[in-house]
Amino acid sequence: MTVLAAAGTHPLGDRHVHRVGYGAMQLAGPGVFGPPKDRAGALAVLRAAIEAGVDHIDTSDFYGPHHTNRLIREALHPYRDNLTIVTKVGARRGPAGSWDPAFTAEALEAAVHDNLRHLGVDVLDVVNLRAMFDIHTPAEGSIEAPFTVLAELQQRGLIRHLGLSNVTLAQVRQAQAIAPVVCVQNQYNLVHRADEPMIRALADEGIAYVPFFPLGGFTPLQSRALDAAAAALGTTPMQTALAWLLQRAPNLLLIPGTSSLEHLRQNLASAALRLPAEVLARLEHDVDG
């Protein structure tokens, strides 16, 4: 039994995965662009995650681009039967590292085939459509056409399950009218809680919510209340923030990313950390994002 089992599991498509997984974004170079600074270290982190029991990896072929998926393949292929790899499409990287929309049918199909090739698989476990009306903030706009493209690729046997990223609840409903949605990946963390109505709605339907930037992303979480809670518990602030997420809602699946073996161990250890009621109450009211 691994430490990850302490937080339980939740359905992700046709599998149940541990609620603490691994996000591969930080394995790419600075700004999620170019190769890693330490290739051997990146491979070691991936292998250590799997050995520790991680069965859910989040990635994308536009991380790098291509570098992250190639690292995953080099480190882990052939993949364990219980490993679920979730990727996303809908964006491409510009020559200088910009994040550009890639919503046309041709771009989406090409992205699916790039993911298949670079991961070394015949079918992708889960593909999230990344809405790019705003880079990190959900914004209204129709996703009917691009999601229909992915649904057709699913019917052709290239994708097992579909998800969404950076979307509104109205866009989730629009997608569900086309094909089942097994997960939603939006920004949510201790100091960024705008999606709480979305999380509750998805929990009622048994749909996983996967918060990106669970630790703040490019700007790490900073809060005096968080620091005080961690000091009282004898944990790190980031472990406390992850434990808060796990206790916030049963359908949250975490994908903290790191290129450090020590940080990986700390992140995974958060699965066994339970915050006392008084700490939860303090973080509920006193967080100063």
Sign of the C-alpha dihedral computed for residues 270, 274, 280 and 282 taken in this order = negative
How far is residue 229's CA from residue 236's CA, in Å, rounded to a whole number? 9
| Distance of alpha carbon 238 from the chain centroid | 16
Among residues 234, 248, 284, the alpha carbon closest in space to that of 19 is found at: 248
Distances (CA, A) of 204 to 62, 197, 199: 32, 11, 9
- Would you name the residues annotated as active-site residues? 63
Spatial CB neighbours of 151, under 8 Å, sequence gap ≥ 6: 162, 178, 179
Nearest to 75 by CA among 105, 101, 48, 94: 48
Say if CB 180 and CB 154 are below 8 A apart: no
Strand pairing partners for 185?
Answer: 165
